[in-house]
Chain A
Amino acid sequence: MSRIDLLRVPLLGPFLGWRHTRTLLQALCLGLAVLIILDGLFGPQLAPRNLAGTLPWVHWRGFVVLALLIAGNLFCMACPFMLPRRLAKRFGPARWSWPAPLRSKWVAVAALILFFWAYEAFALWSSPWLTAWVALSYFALAFVIDGFFKGASFCRHLCPIGQFHFVNSMVSPTEVAVRDPDVCASCETLDCIRGRYDPETAAAHRSKQLARPPDAASGRALGLEGLVQGGCELALFQPRKGGNADCTFCLECIHACPHDNVGIVLRSPVQELIADEKRSGTGRIPRRLDWAALILLLTFAAWVNALGMTEPVFRLQAWIASWAGTGSRQFVLALYFVFGLIGLPFLVTLLTASASRALSSLHEPLTRTIPAYAPALVPVGFAMWTAHYLFHFLVGGLTIVPVVQEYLRDLGIAATGPPRWGAGALVPESWLLPIEIVILQGGLLLTLVAGHRIASRREPDRRSAGRAFLPWAVLATLLTGAGIWLLTQPMEMRGTFEAL
């Protein structure tokens, strides 16, 4: 087993392995976040002129999908919201356990739906001021929640950005993983989850025989006293961690392991989608309805979100408005999202799973079939997100140049010259559609491979595996077809002028 380990790659390895890398990246992002908030609150309120209109909605979204595509969950790694939260951990009680009834992805599912609705309903992309407030609330929420609750409660149970990354990084090509399982088998300290303590405290812990099992620990079961290096705050215990789900790429485990036994390894992008072992932290994702709901929501949201900026959606929304007899934009959009993010995924999944079960040789409740196949849909969904966000990034990547020039000029720094308003596209326009189609088809391919492997794992023979897989293949193909159709629709960016 000689997997490629990024920590052993020259230059990159030492950089990633450096203790302060994460803090450095977070500090950079925090600096950007502060600029965005200030400009959003006090700068010109025309989105294309404002850092808060440009950086988050054009560049950040493009960056995160690219990072997920070629590396992994780099945003959580560099997440600026985590920096002030460290203070909260130090000075707040941070003692409570996250309430047991909320220990699932359901709260996060609700938070995501709310966010997708708010994004359209208040046209967040066109309001630097609201964008700044979203960022500020984010800081406040992470600070307060993690100031009261243990571990990374906010990331794990609430954060919409986190869930987007946890789900989509399931197809990323790298993962934080154990290098040699044998070393873990003989490990006595389990620092990767418990954290590393100074020798005295560690000895005291040992003599007390470490009552609690590591999985329940959330990394902090033993308390903060004497802690030199934290363990995993997301309850992922390396020897039983399998994949990127719930991993924030914080690299604490890498620093904590006294045997230098944790690396960042390359892997197949379908590996995590087809796995069915019980894993630490997340349990068995293919058995969990809340995870299935999260995956399906994010998959369908990719289409709903992209449809939101094409011409046909306005006809649809006008129709909803006349059907519901209302002119309230917020209400019409609420109906649109309840249908697009809850009703439609529910119906389509129910139909697909019923067909799959009818064709298969298994007799099981649909609550088993749906979570079993849901992970296979991650690649098509991720491909749609990537195609959409990359579109904005490739079309408008360079628009940041004049925005920064004007920003500096407004501060009285003229060194960068007059703003070059003609700067915009990163690639010729004719490349966009081919790039997007290749991405969508790559996603479809991975979904088909994963779906088939899942069916083969579950079904007794090849023929019934093929049959059980068929409806999911049809669904993925239809989604991809819809995606291509969507990307060829005329683009229309509306939302700020009140009338529907």
Chain B
Amino acid sequence: MSRVALLLVLLLLGGCRGEAPPDDLPVESRVSVAPTPPIVGPNRLVITLTDPSGSPQTAHEVRVEGTMTHAGMVPVHANARDEGEGRWVVPDFEFTMGGDWILILRITLPGGEEAERRHDLRVVSSSSPDPGGP
């Protein structure tokens, strides 16, 4: 009986795990990738952080995770390097497959709060230019 109860609790808790609500920290991010469109293999990511007024936003740390929109691929993690003026760079971010990627930026602000920002990217197989892209 207690095992059934435990199972029920687990299931109900399962129902409670959800998407973290978006934070409202004052940081906006832009990502540019070279080459464009990004390719399978190493790419250079340049992340620009601004505050809502558009001026550079400093941060303590920026971690980048790349994950595909389908399961079964190992996510790619990297720490970006601070180049000042809100510019953060990952010189060799390695996409492991062509297709739809989501870049998750975890930005630790000077106060210690962590903001999360997401960007969608379409990576093409390096052998060919993106033919069907918009």
Contacts and interface: CB of A to CB of B under 8 A. Distances in A.
Interface of A: 34-35, 38-39, 41-50, 53-54, 57-58, 123, 125-126, 309, 311, 314-315, 317-318, 392-393, 395-396, 399, 403, 407, 410-412, 421-425, 490-497, 499-500
A235 B47 CA distance: 64
A38 B14 contact: yes
Contact of A47 (B17, B69, B98): B69
A58 B98 contact: no
Interface of B: 10-11, 13-19, 40, 67-75, 77, 97-100, 102, 120, 122-128, 131-134
Given A39-B14, A399-B73, A45 B19 contact: yes
B74 A411 contact: no
B73 A396 contact: yes
Contact of B100 (A126, A403, A421): A126
Nearest to B75: A421
Nearest to B98: A492
Contacts of A490: 40, 98, 125-128
Contacts, number: 135
Contact of B70 (A42, A47, A318): A47
Contacts of A39: 14, 17
Contacts of A399: 71-74
Contacts of A48: 67-68, 70-73, 75
A51 B102 CA distance: 18
A493 B100 contact: yes
Nearest to A316: B132
Contact of B17 (A43, A495, A499): A43
A160 B125 CA distance: 33
5 A-B pairs with the lowest CB-CB distances in the bound complex, closest first:
A396-B72, A490-B125, A492-B98, A424-B74, A318-B132
Nearest to A396: B72
Contacts of B19: 43-45
A109 B3 CA distance: 43
Contacts of B123: 492
Given A318-B132, A492-B125, A38 B15 contact: yes
Contact of B13 (A49, A54, A411): A411
Contact of A421 (B74, B102, B128, B131): B74
Contacts of A43: 14, 17-19
B131 A126 contact: no
Contact of B72 (A42, A395, A499, A500): A395
Given A490-B40, A490-B98, A491-B99, A38 B11 contact: yes
Nearest to B126: A490
Given A39-B14, A411-B17, A490-B125, A53 B70 contact: yes
Q: Which of B75, B120, B127 has the most CB of A within 10 A?
A: B75
